[in-house]
Each structure stands twice: as C-alpha cells, then as structure tokens.
Amino acid sequence: MAVVKELFSAYHKNELPTGGGFIISAFFDLNTTYTKYEVISYAAVKDIYLTDEGIVFQADGKKIFAIVEPQNYTEKHVEPAYRSALHRIPYRLKEVEIFTSKRQDRIMVGKEPVITYTSFTVTKSEGHNFSYVVYNTDDILAAIKSFFEQSMWKDARVPKADASKVAELIVSEFKKIMIGPDGEF
C-alpha cells in the first residue's frame, strides 16, 4: 500500500526515501480556483538538506506539471510558460494536453517531463499549499490516480466526473517519470 507523508514533516523525522521517490506539490491562488500541481520523481540521491527556501534534493529529477485554469481566468491568452510565477508552468500550449471540464475550466497537463540534473528545490508550503512525499511502492499508479481524483475534486474544485478523467491523464503522463525497482529512471 502506498505511503504518503507531508514532505517537511518527513524531512524533520528523517523519513524521506533516499533510494528515490515522488513529490507532489500543489499551489493555490488565494482569489480563484487556479491551481498548479508539480509532480517530481527523484533518484540517485546524493544529499537532501533544508534551506530558507525549502528542501534541496541533490538528485536527478523528472517533473510533470498540471494546472487548473478557472473559466473566468483573465490571462487565458498568455502561454503557460510566460505567466506570473504562481500561474507559470514550463510549457507552451502546444506542449500540454488540454481537458475542458463540464464547468468550462481548462486543465492542462504537460505532455513530456522536464528533466533536472544534479539538484532541485521544493519550496516551503504556505497557506493552503502542500507538498507530499510518496514512496515508490507496487501500487504507485493506483495511489497517484486516487490522490489526483480527490485533490482535483476537493482542492481544485473540478467536478468529480471530470476529476477522475484528469487523474487518468495525469497517470498516463506519470508513467514517463516512474522509477524502477532499482531506484533508477
């Protein structure tokens, strides 16, 4: 069964998997339902340490991003890569899968992972934002699907039937960043 822990709590308890794992972070706009998700797989860990900004992983990583863009979002015409920091993901519109919900929200999921070499930082969670570490278990795909069904529905307020479809899309992209049993990509 999948093990999911709050990232910073797991760090302080020395419970982060050093053989590789997954990190899911969510960032919420305080004024709208705009939500940004970042999913990171990491392997080949050399060190993990805390800074003022967050937790630095000296490890190789692969990231996929997703955003939930509410129907009334005023910057829809701006490419996701050129938006303000909270709303930015490193993709252009042609590089994302776009799903439109029954409520006319647009959900975008990156088609290809972003690769980070040597290190990456997971910023500290503030407000309603969160970061979880997910251990690499046999049922990881089911765990990721369940997590995103619930989070898209309850946190990002995507209609439940649409949240399930988006979770399936995220799982299909997640397969591109999976870690093998030996802790390698």
Asked whether the beta carbons of 6 and 131 are under 8 A apart, the reply is yes
Model-level pTM? 0.95
- DSSP conformational letter for 176: G
* pLDDT tens-digit series, residues 45-69: 999 999 999 999 999 999 999 999 9
* Average pLDDT of the residues of the chain: 95
* pLDDT tens-digit series, residues 141-179: 999 999 999 999 999 999 999 999 999 999 999 999 998
Token digits of residue 160: 């439940």
Determine the Cα–Cα distance for residues 67 and 57; give it in Å rounded to an integer. Answer: 24
Helix axis angle, 160-174 to 140-150, nearest 10°: 140
pLDDT > 80? residue 182: no
Asked whether the beta carbons of 86 and 29 are under 8 A apart, the reply is yes
Length of the chain measured in residues: 185
Asked whether the beta carbons of 158 and 105 are under 8 A apart, the reply is yes
Determine the Cα–Cα distance for residues 122 and 54; give it in Å rounded to an integer. Answer: 5
pLDDT > 90? residue 181: no
Token digits of residue 163: 């949240």
Residue linked to tokens 């992209």:
173
Spell out the alpha helix ranges (H) of the chain. 7-12, 140-150, 160-174
